[in-house]
Chains A and B, each alone.
Chain A
Amino acid sequence: MREVAIVAYAQSPQVRQEKVLNEVEILMPVIEEALAEAAMTMDDIDFVCSGSCDYIAGGAFSFVSAVDALGATPSKMESHVEMDAAWALYESWLKIQTGEISSALIYGFGKSSVGELPDVMSQQCDPYYLAPLWPDSISLAGIQASALLATGRYTERDFADVVVESRRKAKTNPNAQLSGDVSADHLIEAPYIASPLRRHDCCPITDGASVLIITDKSALPKAKTKPVYIRGIDHRMEAHQLGIRTLSESKSSTLALANAKDQAGIEQFDLAELYAPFSPQTLILKDALALNDKVDINPSGGPLAGHIMMSAGLDRFGMSFRALQSSTVKTALAHATSGPCLQHNMIAILEAG
């Protein structure tokens, strides 16, 4: 296996509503910032891969206009996934493994404020049995949360505790949308929006973009930044029909972690960045990944502090990269999800170089 390193990461502020800039305008300075961090130019990038979804902002071909932000004339080798940009990273990682390229710039962007995200997300469901019911993402997460409560493993107060931790940790993340000191006693008084979920249990609508650059070890840029190696990476998908799955568990995460550990030969992590857009999912993942209390979960605040739809998974890699750079800890677990109720999960094991 080729050794692949994350060498740069940049993210726009995660704002509730960007009223002026379109996606390309949000993206351009973020690409510049990531290239500057790696001391690279677009000429040093072999491959560009993005994750976005035109349904989010309702603009056809918004991912094509985003290519303008790359200086893609003359043309670059380019690809796009209609998935979170973490899967664009996976495609890029695979392409490096084939030996076809040695560097890739990955980006994801979304302007969720323009549309009605929970309803837009219902369009990813089965077109015959589910989509005609317009099952919005919050309601589906509510069903999952109540399945978790029914196991007796956690209570609504545990959900609130996840939010308290997220807001507290997000205080050190300048791009966070939600941060500060809140008390679980106070949170639990809030009304339900889709029981047992309260507003604070749901990730905030966020506009923004993120960019991450990876290279083969042989092509590390000259920048002084400490590279972070992707030692193991795997993703597994569960059934589309929610009725087939045990929603209170995440078997695909467990399996992906086992495979990633095999590749990495690393068993313990100092920190984990989990893409859990709803607070109970943090607890489901914590169990599925057997994360003990020594693991610092979502030091960035995680998706509950800011959630760029289509890029929030890539941000887990980026935030792990940042955390490993700025501290003495060595290993991180980055998780990304796609589909309703943690249907599809990716696990990567990262190690500071």
Chain B
Amino acid sequence: MDIDLDPIEQLDAPIYHRYHATSSRAITPFLHAMKRGELLGHLSTATGKVLFPPLGACPESGQATHMPVILSDSGTVLGFTTVHLPIPGSKLVPPFTVANILLDGADQACGHLISECEINAVAIGMRVTAVWRAKEIWNNSLENIEYFRPIAEPLVDIDELQKQCLIKANHRKKSAQGDQDA
């Protein structure tokens, strides 16, 4: 065996594929709404929960979701982390804080950035609102929101918040199913 050959430790084999993807039935209206500056979620009639961002399927029931709901651009921080390491390929300069934010009226949290406050000031239950980029550059993208900033409201008890969300979802479920029966 040629054991004295230099081992080859790297072999460049770049792979390029072209795809012509289109957005789906659920995502297309969401992206159009983003361009108008609206946050569009879906009501799951099976659970009464408002899903944001909408994927077109309710993960609890497996049912397709269609019913659009326009949501507020304010919400509550359910969880967060501050990233101190640079992420390869990312435009974000560390340290920065990403949070799971439950928009008012939604039952599913979405991820976004938190800014305009000291890193140490971010807290679970903090009330936040969206800071939009200039309207002229709005696109079919969640990036139209640059980040969320804190608003001067007291911290929210998120256990209580989630309890209240569930009660409202159950009401919506009953009325949605009542509509179907009628």
Contact = CB atoms under 8 A, between A and B. Distances in A.
Contacts of A131: 13
Interface string A118-136: 0110010001100110000
Interface stretch (B15-23, B93-101, B157-165): B15-23
Contacts of B15: 123
A29 B24 contact: no
Contacts of A58: 17, 19, 21
Interface in A1-39: 19-22, 24-25, 28-29, 31
A181 interface: no
B59 interface: yes
B156 interface: no
A129 to B, nearest CB: 12
Interface string B20-48: 11111111100000000000000000000
Nearest to A19: B22
B64 A73 contact: no
A65 B56 CA distance: 10
A305 to B, nearest CB: 24
A7 to B, nearest CB: 19
Contact of A28 (B11, B18, B57): B57
Nearest to B62: A71
Interface in A24-82: 24-25, 28-29, 31, 42, 55, 57-59, 65, 67-73
Nearest to A111: B21
B106 interface: no
Given A71-B58, A72-B59, A25 B20 contact: no
Nearest to A31: B62
B17 A120 contact: yes
A29 B64 contact: yes
Nearest to A134: B15
Contacts of B153: none
A224 B15 CA distance: 50
* Size class of the B contact interface (CB-based, 8 Å): 20 to 34
A25 B64 contact: yes
B13 A116 contact: no
Given A20-B24, A22-B56, A24-B56, A69 B19 contact: no
Contacts of A42: 62
B57 A132 contact: no
Contacts of B120: none
Given A65-B55, A69-B57, A73-B59, A20 B25 contact: yes
A72 B62 contact: yes
What is the interface of chain A mostly: helix, strand, loop, or mixed? helix
Contacts of B64: 25, 28-29
B63 interface: yes
Contacts of A67: 59
Interface in B53-87: 55-64
A65 B24 CA distance: 13
A115 interface: yes
A58 B15 CA distance: 12
A73 B21 CA distance: 28
A223 interface: no
B128 to A, nearest CB: 26
Nearest to A72: B59
B24 A116 contact: no
A115 B22 CA distance: 11
A147 B103 CA distance: 63
A114 interface: yes
A42 B59 CA distance: 12
30 contacts: A21-B24, A22-B23, A22-B24, A22-B25, A22-B26, A22-B56, A24-B56, A25-B24, A25-B26, A25-B57, A25-B64, A29-B64, A55-B17, A58-B19, A58-B21, A59-B21, A68-B57, A68-B62, A69-B62, A71-B60, A71-B62, A71-B63, A73-B59, A114-B20, A115-B19, A116-B17, A116-B18, A119-B17, A127-B13, A132-B13
Give the 9 A-B CB pairs with smallest separation, nearest first: A71-B62, A22-B24, A58-B19, A68-B57, A73-B60, A68-B59, A71-B61, A115-B19, A73-B59
Given A21-B24, A25-B26, A71-B62, 10 more contacts: A20-B24, A24-B55, A25-B25, A28-B64, A59-B21, A68-B57, A68-B58, A115-B20, A116-B18, A128-B11
